[in-house]
Structure formats: C-alpha cells, structure tokens
Amino acid sequence: METVLEAEEAVQDIEAGTLDVRVKQVRYEGIGINSYELTSLSGKHLPPFESGAHIDIHLKNDVIRQYSLCNSSAERDRYVIAVLKDENGSGGSRAVHESLKAGDVVTISKPRNHFALTRDAKKVILIAGGIGVTPLKAMAHELEDRGVDFEMHYCARTPAAAAFGPELDAIRRVGKLHYHFDDGEASNQLDIRKLLAQPTPGTHVYYCGPGGFMAACADAASHWPKGTVHFEHFKAPEQPKRALGGSEQSGGCEVTIASTGQVIQLKPEQSLSDALNEASVAVATSCCAGLCATCKVRYLEGEVEHNDFILSDEERQEYLTTCVSRPASKTLVLDL
C-alpha cells in the first residue's frame, strides 16, 4: 500500500521534471522485445503526452536511456514502452530486460517530444523498421482517433520479430497496416523508393528504425517538399572518427556564460557539456549522442559545428546540444 509520503514525493518529483512510477506489467511482444507498462504510485493521472514523445528511464549505476511511448496519448493512466534487448549495445537495453520486474519502482522523466505529428496533414505515411515501430504505433492510435487518413508499413525480420500483433490487428484488418518481412517472399518486402516515388500534396511521411533503414528512407524521400518528411533516430548513426577538437577552432575556445560573465576554457579534447559541468555550470545530459535534446542550450554569439540528430535547421540558428556539438569559432556565448 502506498504511503502519504510516497505520494508527496511523487508530486515533488513531477515538479522537478522526474517522477517515480511503478512497473505494473512486463509483457513479451516479440523476439527479444518486452513491453513495460508504467503507472503512477498514487493511482492518479500521469503527465499528458503527445504521440512521438519519449521518456528517460533511470537505471542503476546512473545509466539513463530514452524510450518512445507507444500507447495511445489519450490514455492518462499509464505509459507503455517497448525495449529490444540488444546484446551488442551499450548495456541499457540489457539492464532494462534483466532488472525491471513487475512491481518495481523506477524513476523516469516527464515526456518530451521532438517527433510530433503535424496537425494539418491530409494523409500520413508511417514507415517503421524493427523496434522503430514504437513511436509510430502511438501515432497510428492518434491518427485513428482523429480520423486522419494514414497507412502504416512495418518492416521486421520475421512475423515472430514483429511486436504488438494483437493491438495492431484492428488497423491491419481495415487495410491500414502492411507488414513486410525480410525473411519472407521478395514480393512482400518493402520497396521504399516505390512507396515514396510521388509526393502528394498534404501528405506527410514519418519513419524510424535502424541505421541502414533510416538511410534508405532518407534517400527515397529526398525529393519530397521541405517540411513533409519527419524522422527520429533511436541510435546515433555511425560517423567518421575525428578528434573532438576537429572543427576549425582546434586550439580550444573561450565559452562565456551570459548571465554571470564567467569564461570557461574549452579544451580541444573536451565535450562542451563536460567543460560546463567541470566549471559548476549545471546542464542536464541524458543520451550524450545528440538524440534527445536534454542538453539543448541557446547560444547568443559564435559559430557552431552541429553534430546532433535532433534539432531542425531553424533550431540550429540559435540552439546547440552541448553533448556532441562544438564551437566553430574562438569564442562562444551561451544564454545561461
């Protein structure tokens, strides 16, 4: 039974940007995939979210990972995430699979969204690769509720590797969901270039999946009008290795904090977030890969080498991600 103290602490955590939730259920969804249903400790509504949103999960040993919410945003009593256990990953997904059990209490962030559905689309094409289905599933629920025309293409290795079969069956039966299996008949495999060959006025495309899949979608949609193609990486794409000081200011940079005038010397081998934290300028970080925008900061002066995978071209005119982006000038002024 929850105590009054637990409920009070939960409210305080929400105000601080995090909250403790209970793992109500863990369910097998497909080969290597478990879903986790999270509910509030008090039984009250959780903070609202929009489809495409994700949360941070705080695991043991200060490990933080981001996972998309995959249930309907109309549901206020629970969050649902799905996690593919990656044996070759950095350990976050293994930690979730091996440590989170029904009944456990876990700390999460409030939902954040950098992959939101546009409100004026006449039609939406959703293209999911593997576990990239999670944010798109939430979008399918919302589009169905709003009565917006959509079609969803779900690519997986085999039927056994596709998650959420029972939940997605309703939209499959009405012809809005199309499965494509790599190990199946060649005729059933998705021809992304053919699917996206002809842009249609009012149609928007959303895709999410592993690196090769993302590159194929980007190439196939490269001729679509600006602002009609939307995507989210769940893992940072491979980039050519280079020194952290690889921009033109390889000798370092002076970073000025606008509110105090404090000047921080950024060394060539340092990340901007590390330099700020060492100087006791607190900037929250999470993914440290340029994927979640937790560490997004406005800059007032200077040039920036943007290495993130989350900010739009417009946002990059005034914001940077301190975990991976670098100054491209000798001085940089941050709005902190």
Residue with tokens 């499965």: 179
pLDDT tier, 252 (very low <50, low <70, confident <90, very high otherwise)? confident
- 313 alpha carbon, distance to own chain's centre: 18
User: Cβ contacts of residue 184 below 8 Å, gap of 6+?
Assistant: 158
How many C-beta neighbours within 10 Å does residue 231 have?
A: 17
Q: Which domains does the chain have, with CATH numbers?
A: 4-109 (2.40.30.10), 123-231 (3.40.50.80), 253-334 (3.10.20.30)
CA distances (Å), origin 277, targets 166, 205, 266: 46, 38, 11
Q: Is the pLDDT assigned to residue 309 strictly greater than 70?
A: yes
130-176 pLDDT, tens digit each: 999 999 999 999 999 999 999 999 999 999 999 999 999 999 999 99
For residues 193-230, one letter each, b for 16 or more C-beta atoms within 10 angstroms of the residue's C-beta and e for the rest, the string is eebbeeeeeebbbbbbbbeebbebbeebbeebeeebbb
Sign of the Cα pseudo-torsion (28, 65, 287, 299, in order)? positive
Q: How far apart are CA 327 and CA 162, in angstroms?
A: 42
What is the model's pLDDT at position 251?
Answer: 55
22-35 pLDDT, tens digit each: 999 999 999 999 99
Q: Is the pLDDT assigned to residue 250 strictly greater than 90?
A: no
pLDDT tier, 16 (very low <50, low <70, confident <90, very high otherwise)? low
Token code pair at residue 321: 């991600």
186-203 pLDDT, tens digit each: 778 899 999 999 999 999
What is the model's pLDDT at position 129?
Answer: 96
Q: How far apart are CA 144 and CA 73, in angstroms?
A: 12
265-308 pLDDT, tens digit each: 998 888 898 899 888 888 877 777 777 777 889 999 999 999 88
- Greatest mean pLDDT range, 85-94, 297-306, 309-318: 297-306
HEC string of the chain equals CCCHHHHHHHHHHHHHCEEEEEEEEEEEEECCEEEEEEEECCCCCCCCCCCCCEEEEECHHHCEEEEECCCCCCCCCCEEEEEECCCCCCCHHHHHHHHCCCCCEEEEECCECCCCCCCCCCEEEEEEEHHHHHHHHHHHHHHHHHCCEEEEEEEECCHHHCCCHHHHHHHHHCCCEEEEECCCCHHHCCCHHHHCCCCCCCEEEEEECCHHHHHHHHHHCCCCCCCCEEECCCCCCCCCCCCCCCCCCCCCEEEEECCCCCEEEECCCCCHHHHHHHCCCCCCCCCCCCCCCCCEEEEEECCEECCCCCCCCCHHHCEEECCCCEECCCEEEECC
What is the model's pLDDT at position 62?
Answer: 77
Q: How far apart are CA 83 and CA 93, in angstroms?
A: 6
Q: How far apart are CA 163 and CA 31, in angstroms?
A: 8
